[in-house]
Amino acid sequence: MAIELESQLSPGGQAEAEAAEPRYLNRELSWLEFDARVLALTEDPTVPLLERVKFCAIFAMNLDEFFYVRVAGLKDQVAARLGPTAPDGIWPAEQLTAIRRRVTELLARLSTAFVGDIVPALANAGVRLVEWSSLDAADRLHLVQVFDERIFPVLTPLAVDPGHPFPYISNLSLNLAVIVRDPDTAERRFARVKVPPLLDRFVALPDGERFVPLEQLIAAHLDQLFPGMEIECHYPFRVTRNADLTLEEEEADDLLAAVEMELRRQRFGRAVRLEIGPGMSDEVRELLTAELDLTPDDVYELDGPLDPAGLMALHELERPDLKDEPFQPTTQPVLQGAENAQADIFAVLRERDVLMHHPYDSFVSSVEAFIAQASRDPSVLAIKQTLYRTSGDSPIVRSLIRATERGKQVVALIEVKARGDELANIAWARALEEAGVHVVYGLVGLKTHCKAALVVREEPEGIRRYCHLGTGNYNSNTARLYEDVGLLTADPAIGADLTDLFNYLTGYSRRVDYRRVEVAPSGLRTRMLDLIAREAEDPNRGRIIMKMNSLVDQDVIDALYDASARGVRIDLVVRGVCCLRPGVPGLSDNIRVRSIVGRYLEHSRIYYFANRGNAEYYIASADMMPRNLDSRVEVIVPVADPDLQARLEEVLTANLDDDALAWELGPDDEWRKVPARQGLNVQLRLQELALERVRRRRDGDARGPQQLS
């Protein structure tokens, strides 16, 4: 969404600025428009009910991150009296005003969808969210026992009086604000009760169909927490704090210790948002606002659960009739051995490269199996791998530990600055170190975001290197939910490149002349700009298709504008933030932008360039954002095998043909749902293609995929 620029210009300059067509969309408002597309799934009656509940939770979690990172950063800019820092030229204070307006609209939609539509529909389906006040004596007796046995022992009421200052309210915690009155002195006090996050968010009644919000159960028993006092009123509330990690890495002697110290400091980050339920008294609202050093514009009222992210617990209910039909990822035929056994992956890679497309292709029988086989194989000498985000019970980490125990050289590059996963990554790093793995914590000033694994194996012909490069994390859980692509290869040039990359990550190498891959921050930006410019040299045959999570980088956007002006047809599939304005006459006539939002999180980065009929395909860990191109270690790798190019072509074609999940960004800066004509759902289509590929291999049918136009 573009908003008017109100800058400190002379009257003439002001008029000129207002008359000029904006070149870029605002990043923060574009983030909110992605949240709006997620929110639309909660409003869609064709989406199964518990999936709609899940999307309520995802919307809320996205909004949490937006506030504790992006809004927190804007507030810091306002406090520092900084002017515009992004290409759109919008002042930070103006952005905050526009953000509040849009968030208020989105929260109203969330309340309407959840309270007005989803809750009644769930009740009709036998899943009822009920109020304490609606329960009969038998139900209350059951919940009293639950409260006494499981909840009361872990509650800690905190009063505010001359001897007890206002308590620290932790980030994203759900709380009850309570006003108590001493019947003897008539003195009134404020108290806070934290709703423990370790307890079930919704308490089930014996019939297994009715659920009471935990905060209501606690509120009904406040007299036990404040015996002898009168409970005047109570209200739920929630606080969001600045939670972005800020490190002075150049001054840190120990990066791991510095991250741990910053995480402890982060707990006391400045408050940036107060969420309240309807009906909170002015007295309590003003007290919370003042104590948290917030303004009225930082307060958001929500009709419905104040912690919608907790709704994910409802999605876990065993009600398959209210969820998407389950899909079992397939094992690619080339990785399938005799009698459904796992194939020898090294033998396969000596013959051909393998492209995986998750979650349609199994992560377990490809990437995890690759690392597991390497850990067992006596001919494997070394395994080197980056770990940005991994799952809590990671088979890959276990394989690395087993490899070390078997005497192999194992190196794990663990990015301890991965936002939200810092503590988990620190724990994994220590577990790996204790097992004898060589652990590296990343580079000063850069996040290591690339997804790369290198296996060095001694063979009769000499040393051979086997590689995996992907767009997604080495995480078993997200591999079932995130759409990603990955390449397994024994290409000697790529193996040599990864050797140089790991030497750069673990030592003092400064190599920048890689053979096949390009690496950020050294050469990836230049390579991408060169590829775009090359298409513009022959606009009649020029064609660019880019699938990514975010498009923010000004240089890349300007290069795409220039290619469009020269006549190159450009299709962009951008899941989230997009600062490019498509279809604007004289600026981007030949650019189309669409976004796919559905069951799976579209996470892959695929880049296609026609190259005068000699098409080039690339997969990458990097989006087109300044942070990816300038502040992270990223890798982009070409996919040269014609069969694998056909697979990527298949993916891009389905993305461009989708009219069930797709949204399009118009020249008026508005996102609109693509009209349904053929009803093609790209994610269902790719599921079908994965199953068809298995059948085709079994039946000996080698028909290829459809072609890009």
Higher-confidence residue of 3 and 370: namely 370
Asked whether residue 296 carries a pLDDT value surpassing 90, the answer given is yes
What is the longest distance spanned by two Cα atoms in the chain? 91
Of 315, 357, 358, 449, which is the active-site residue? 449
- Which DSSP category does 336 fall into? B
| Average pLDDT, integer, range 465-476 | 95
Strands 671-673 and 662-665: antiparallel
| Average pLDDT, integer, range 99-117 | 96
Place of tokens 């309590």: 284
Phi and psi torsions of 85, nearest 5°: -120, -5
| Average pLDDT, integer, range 28-50 | 97
Asked whether residue 479 carries a pLDDT value surpassing 90, the answer given is yes
Confidence class for position 556, pLDDT limits 50, 70, 90: very high
- Which DSSP category does 117 fall into? I
The mean pLDDT of the chain is 89
Asked whether residue 515 carries a pLDDT value surpassing 90, the answer given is yes
Q: Residue 419's closest CA among 266, 198, 623?
A: 266
Q: What's the CATH class of domain 333-439+451-480?
A: alpha beta
Here the tokens at position 81 are: 């009296």
The gap between the terminal CA atoms of the chain, to the nearest Å, is 30
Instruction: Give domain 21-113's CATH number out of 2.60.40.10, 3.40.50.880, 3.40.228.10, 1.20.58.310.
Output: 1.20.58.310
The fold adopted by the segment(s) 518-699 is Endonuclease; Chain A (3.30.870)
pLDDT tens string 134-191:
999 999 999 999 999 999 999 999 888 766 788 889 899 999 999 999 999 999 999 9
| Average pLDDT, integer, range 487-504 | 96
Residue 520, pLDDT score: 94
pTM of the predicted structure, to 2 decimals = 0.90
Task: Give yes or no: 468 in active site.
Answer: no
Burial 562-595 (b: 16+ CB within 10 A, else e): ebbbbebbbbbbbbbbbbbbbbbeebbebbbbbb
pLDDT tens string 58-77:
999 999 999 999 999 999 99
What is the three-class DSSP state of 414?
strand
Instruction: Please indicate whether the domains covering 21-113 and 333-439+451-480 agree at the CATH topology level.
Output: no
Residue extents of the structural domains in the chain: 21-113, 126-310, 333-439+451-480, 518-699
Higher-confidence residue of 295 and 414: namely 295
Residue 110, pLDDT score: 96
The fold adopted by the segment(s) 126-310 is polyphosphate kinase like (3.30.1840)
Task: Please calculate the CA angle 189-194-197 and round it to the nearest 5 degrees.
Answer: 175
Asked whether residue 1 carries a pLDDT value surpassing 90, the answer given is no
User: What is d(CA 305, CA 238) in angstroms, rounded to the nearest whole number?
Assistant: 11
- Of 258-267, 326-335, 433-442, the range with the highest mean pLDDT is 326-335
